[in-house]
Structure 1
Amino acid sequence: MGQTTSFRVKVQRFASAIQKNKYINSVSNGLSSILPVILGGAIFTLIDTINIPAYQTFLVNTGLKALTEIPPMITIDLLALYAVFAIAYTTATQFKSDAFSAGVVALMSFFIVTPLGVLSDEATLALSYQWLGSTGLFVAILIGVLIGRLSTLIIDNGYYIKMPKGVPPTIEKSFAALTPAFMAIILMLMVRGIFELTPFGNIHEFIYTLVQVPLVNLGGSWWAYLIVVFVMSLLWFFGIHGTIVVMGVILPIWTSLRLENLEAYQAGVELPHTIAGGAFFMTYTAIGGTGATIGLAVLLLMAKSKRYKTLGKLAIVPGLTGINEPIMFGVPLVLNMKLLIPLIVAPLATSIIAMLATTIGLVEPLRGIGVPLGTPIFINGFLEGGWRVPILQLVLLLVSLALFYPFFRSLDREALLVEQGEDPEVAADKAAKASNA
């Protein structure tokens, strides 16, 4: 018992360190803050590309096609621009500095290292979309964190132009941001110059070739994904919000995976990733919440004990929308050895079944729309992949139910015996014997 407690304390400390890390929080919060942009672009991508000939003909003939094409172009295709500003903003906020100025300087820095193209007239320079979307996301993350932190260090140490008393705060902040901006320009010009001397030509190509592609391939591999899912469930068992802890680390990779699928769907070409990052997680793995607890939510409704039946009535609606804290802490699953096995096995099983179904073509790869938390199951599945996905979700619900059933049956019998006046220890023994019979 002492060793278990010691291990739990160590895990909690490690998870707490990750949750409190300002740089990880900056990236996670920054990407989360641009969710309205991503979701708006994703919804209009869906509206623009619904594969019904009569619908597409209607859009073209009415002139609406020219309008529905615009939102994806200025949202998903420009994602790196929104991200670099947002991440620099949240980084500066973490260190209690002028966040808006940091965001503006970071955006300027991103433009400096992004190569210009030449139009066909050979006289007009243009900024290509090539590195402004998901392909430029990792550079946006690096610059956002770097410039956000650089700005705060310069301001905190007083290395800026100080204005006399009485100057309006807006003017004072503008002059204070001059030094970070000047330093950022020099630094980014050096970065651009150095990479222009290499075979890569620019930092985007370097990061994309040597860092982003391997990381995305790793994050999109089956075994890496399943390890992430396992760690989430294990942390939840120890009472740590595993989803938040792990998402802080994996979110940039999963976002890139999801958006590459969304861009491919928008372009009408084959979707590249079986595992569409967070979209795959929310649609298949976390069906009913982390731990794939939707089956347990249904079992609670059918419980014989008043305790669990009442909890089921409270937990079923949140469970259908992917929120399972009532189950996690109400059953509970946290530190409940009797439910540890299904808590870990259920999400792994639903993930593997979904991977296999996608690979052999029973369902299409998810589009990567990134339907937000709170969207009910079946609806989120239909939006992400059409009518076949809700059918697969129904199968996964039954799988979750089957995996939780033998373990929950024992708990329910024990609770019923206690409600009938049995001693808790005696009730536990009877329930265990009944389950083994």
Structure 2
Amino acid sequence: MENSSNGAFSNFINNKVLPPIMKFVNTKPVKALQDGMVYALPFIIIGSVFLILSNIPIPAVAAVIKASGWAAFFNQAYTVTFGVLSLWAAVGIAYVYVRNEGYEPLPAGLTSMAVFLLLQTLNIANPLVAAMGKAGSGITNAAGNVVMSGSAVSQNIDKLPKVLQDFVQAPVTGVVNITWLGGQGMIAAIIVGILVGWAYSAMIRKGWKITLPEQVPASVANQFTAMIPAGVILIVAMLIFAAFSAFGNTDMLQFIYKVLQTPLQGLSDSLGGALVIAFLVPFFWFFGVHGGLIMGAITSGLLIPNTFDNASLYKAGKLTVAQGAHIVTNEFYNNFINLTGSGITIGLVIFTLFAAKSVQFKTIGKVEFVPALFNINEPFLFGLPIVMNPFLAIPFFLTPVIVALSTYLVIYFGIVPPLNGFAAPWTTPAIISGFLIGGWKMAIWQTITLVMSTAIYFPFAKKYDAILTKEEGEKAAAEAAAGNAEIEKM
């Protein structure tokens, strides 16, 4: 009866739940988002290195680097790599969308970049505004030392004629505001990339292009092919910018950030959001579908901006939950929810190496050991298997949920600091990744989560191992009996 109900549940999941989810995941926009974001990853990772170099978590060393002026150079490198991740996303998403449609993709990627820049107001607040007043930052020198307080700045500016005060405090125009090229512009970048990719492909498909004679080199002809779609898209984008400016006194990027991105980031950063993500990754895997890819595609547009926000706070020396640091970031997803592989199966690896008695467990454990160090566990998922295995379902679902819950709480209550924004590659071994993304306290906590995984998996693995050992013994006895029967016939 139990097997019948399990079979009915599996059939329900496979026939009713998974098909619409897979249909959504395999849509053109989601595929473009998933693969397009990959183009931003090298810049995110390299930029993270410059972030750490400019903010070494050793005060004495950090002070020396800052005084030497090298911190400013590292910050420059960080700003044009990790600091403009939304720009990379806008280019990559449109590029992949059009590439998947079978057309020349680079013009679409560049068009998307132009649209993304066109839709923002090209000015920044005057730095004097933030420097003025008792709560102002004041004026600092290259070493970061305050040379004039905020109050002193206000007092001196107040001595100027009113017209001159207004002039020196006016926004700086004719510049690109990198605020919207970073994490705050991510949802807008995703929308722009997808819409540009879709519109560009549709126009090319309908023949909206300038066709030159065959004698014209392909490199030149391709640019003329792109001219009409790019021109139409840019004109529409200009009209959208004009509408937001005229009727809303804002721009599209700021509007999307306030109305859409801020609430979604808050949802992704909640305890409930963390638990849902932690459960759904192994849930999809259990039924043989790549849970990491599905949830990564859905959550990356929100969790990567969370990482960026934390990096900015870390850079400013304000990385605390009280000052707005996010608990759930892309590194929370990669280096806790998926630590040692989906389901956090390191506990299962330890069991197979030190306590398993069955040949199947021992053999697969030896194969899985090295991949597990780099957060890869497909040998377990399909070789043991864990997929559709009721004996290991409970720890497989439970472990990442418990780890997500406990990690959220230790950060929330200040036991360990928030993640610092360093984008450690998902293959970075445990403990090392913990140190990189949060210092020695996070490395210790990550070690504790490995112990938790072992404690959760052990009793279930022991029971399953006993079943496998019994089956192997019965099979060996049957084979021996068959061999003896053959000998007697001879």
Report the TM-score range of the alignment, normalised by the length of the smaller protein. Answer: over 0.9
Moved more, 112-121 or 197-206: 112-121
* Contact kept? 1:76, 1:263, Cα under 8 Å: no
* Contact kept? 1:85, 1:107, Cα under 8 Å: yes
Equivalent residue pairs, number: 425
Residue equivalent to 1:277:
329
Matches of 1:416 and 1:214 in 2, distance apart?
52
Structure 1: which amino acid aligns with 2:410? A
Residue equivalent to 2:378:
325
Change (3 A) 1:124 1:311: closer
Offset, 1:156 = 1.0
> Does the alignment pair 1:390 with 2:443?
yes
Residue equivalent to 2:404:
351
> Does the alignment pair 1:249 with 2:298?
yes
Matches of 2:88 and 2:285 in 1, distance apart?
32
Residue equivalent to 2:11:
6
Matches of 1:415 and 1:143 in 2, distance apart?
53
Moved more, 55-64 or 303-312: 55-64
Residue equivalent to 2:25:
19
> Does the alignment pair 1:152 with 2:157?
no
* Contact kept? 1:274, 1:358, Cα under 8 Å: no
Structure 2: which amino acid aligns with 1:77? G
Change (3 A) 1:3 1:414: closer
Residue equivalent to 2:42:
36
Name the TM-score, length of structure 1 as normaliser: 0.92
Match of 1:363 among 416, 422, 426: 416
Question: 2:197 is paired with a residue of what secondary structure?
Answer: helix
Question: 2:199 is paired with a residue of what secondary structure?
Answer: helix
Structure 1: which amino acid aligns with 2:83? D
* Contact kept? 1:261, 1:276, Cα under 8 Å: no
Offset, 1:412 = 0.8
- 1:154-212 per-position Cα deviation (integer Å, ceiling 9, x unaligned): 11111111112211111111111110121012101111011113345111111011100
Residue equivalent to 2:101:
95
Structure 1: which amino acid aligns with 2:197? G
- 1:95-118 per-position Cα deviation (integer Å, ceiling 9, x unaligned): 111200001111111121111127
* Contact kept? 1:274, 1:355, Cα under 8 Å: no
Offset, 1:61 = 4.6
- 1:272-292 per-position Cα deviation (integer Å, ceiling 9, x unaligned): 344332201222222211111
Moved more, 268-277 or 333-342: 268-277
Matches of 2:472 and 2:206 in 1, distance apart?
65
Offset, 1:76 = 2.2
Change (3 A) 1:20 1:319: same
Matches of 1:242 and 1:167 in 2, distance apart?
48
Question: 2:474 is paired with a residue of what secondary structure?
Answer: coil
Matches of 2:251 and 2:15 in 1, distance apart?
45
Question: 1:69 is paired with a residue of what secondary structure?
Answer: helix
Residue equivalent to 2:360:
307
* Contact kept? 1:87, 1:103, Cα under 8 Å: yes
Residue equivalent to 2:314:
265
Residue equivalent to 1:215:
264
Question: 1:198 is paired with a residue of what secondary structure?
Answer: helix
Moved more, 179-188 or 8-17: 8-17
Structure 1: which amino acid aligns with 2:55? T
* Contact kept? 1:160, 1:176, Cα under 8 Å: yes
Matches of 1:346 and 1:337 in 2, distance apart?
15
Change (3 A) 1:250 1:60: closer
Structure 2: which amino acid aligns with 1:4? F
Residue equivalent to 2:133:
none
* Contact kept? 1:117, 1:128, Cα under 8 Å: yes
Structure 2: which amino acid aligns with 1:275? I
Matches of 1:400 and 1:296 in 2, distance apart?
8
Residue equivalent to 1:85:
91
Name the TM-score, length of structure 2 as normaliser: 0.83
Change (3 A) 1:345 1:421: same
Matches of 1:146 and 1:298 in 2, distance apart?
48
Matches of 2:326 and 2:244 in 1, distance apart?
33
* Contact kept? 1:276, 1:368, Cα under 8 Å: no
Structure 2: which amino acid aligns with 1:386? G
Match of 2:183 among 125, 134, 137: 134
Residue equivalent to 1:373:
426
Matches of 2:472 and 2:400 in 1, distance apart?
32
Matches of 1:372 and 1:140 in 2, distance apart?
23
Matches of 1:276 and 1:70 in 2, distance apart?
27
Matches of 2:249 and 2:378 in 1, distance apart?
48
Offset, 1:65 = 2.4
Offset, 1:251 = 1.3
Identity in percent = 30
Residue equivalent to 1:125:
174
- 1:10-61 per-position Cα deviation (integer Å, ceiling 9, x unaligned): 3332343133211101111111121000111111101110132331233245
Residue equivalent to 1:292:
344
Change (3 A) 1:215 1:60: closer
Residue equivalent to 1:431:
none
Unaligned runs of 5+ in 1: 425-437
Residue equivalent to 2:58:
52
Offset, 1:62 = 3.9
Offset, 1:404 = 1.1
> Does the alignment pair 1:110 with 2:163?
no
- 1:283-324 per-position Cα deviation (integer Å, ceiling 9, x unaligned): 222221111111111111121222211211211221122111
Residue equivalent to 2:215:
166
* Contact kept? 2:338, 2:375, Cα under 8 Å: yes
Offset, 1:133 = 1.0
Offset, 1:5 = 4.4
